[in-house]
Amino acid sequence: MTLKLTVNGKRHELSVPPQTPLLNVLRNDLALNGPKYGCGLGECGACSVLIGGMIARTCVLPVSAAVDHDITTLDGLAQNGQLDPVQQAFIEAQAAQCGYCLNGMIMAIRALLNHNEQPSTQQIRAALEHNLCRCGTHVEILQAAQRAVV
Ligand code: FES
């Protein structure tokens, strides 16, 4: 079965089983390695992307559910050689330790800012509530998220 996906503004036609997790298609078929495999259960956020500007966990989302939607991965946030302000804020705040969770953190904050340009600290915390960081750099991650709010 051929599925058509729009990822980071590019159209792709792929022959994959429709129940394949979107994460597998992004990483294995399209070589987009921004989204990470963490838990595989929809619980850690490492695999997050934006679908229609909203956060989505791709390890538990069949690729067929993403057809006809605009998918944006971490790889597609930067435009015209400029990092997304959220990416820039995470660099400036030195929010990474191992960095594995940062895809999910950055995408969660980007999704929040897409719908609320001036979120409160409480709203930022809520947006990150279900994203796990095993290194414990939550303080720096929250500082980065605050920095991303203009
Ligand atoms: Fe998808 Fe953990 S890998 S939520």
Which of 25, 54, 76 delimits the end of a domain?
76
Which of 49, 76, 103 delimits the end of a domain?
76
Same domain? 90 vs 132: yes
Atom of ligand 1 nearest to the CA of 23: 1
0.90 surpassed by complex ipTM: yes
Question: Domain tally for the chain?
Answer: 2
pLDDT digits (tens, 9 = 90+) for 64-100: 999 999 999 999 999 999 999 999 999 999 999 999 9
Q: Is 47 in the pocket of ligand 1 (CB under 6 A)?
A: yes
Same domain? 70 vs 105: no
Q: Is 100 in the pocket of ligand 1 (CB under 6 A)?
A: no
Exposed/middle/buried for residue 15 (C-beta within 10 Å: 0-12, 13-18, 19+): exposed
Same domain? 95 vs 37: no
pLDDT digits (tens, 9 = 90+) for 95-134: 999 999 999 999 999 999 999 999 999 999 999 999 999 9
Same domain? 31 vs 70: yes
pLDDT digits (tens, 9 = 90+) for 29-54: 999 999 999 999 999 999 999 999 99
59 near 23, Cβ under 8 Å? Answer: yes
Expressed as residue numbers, the domain containing 118 is: 85-148
CA 131, 133, 136 angle in degrees (round to 5)?
135
Q: Is 46 in the pocket of ligand 1 (CB under 6 A)?
A: yes
Which of 59, 76, 93 delimits the end of a domain?
76
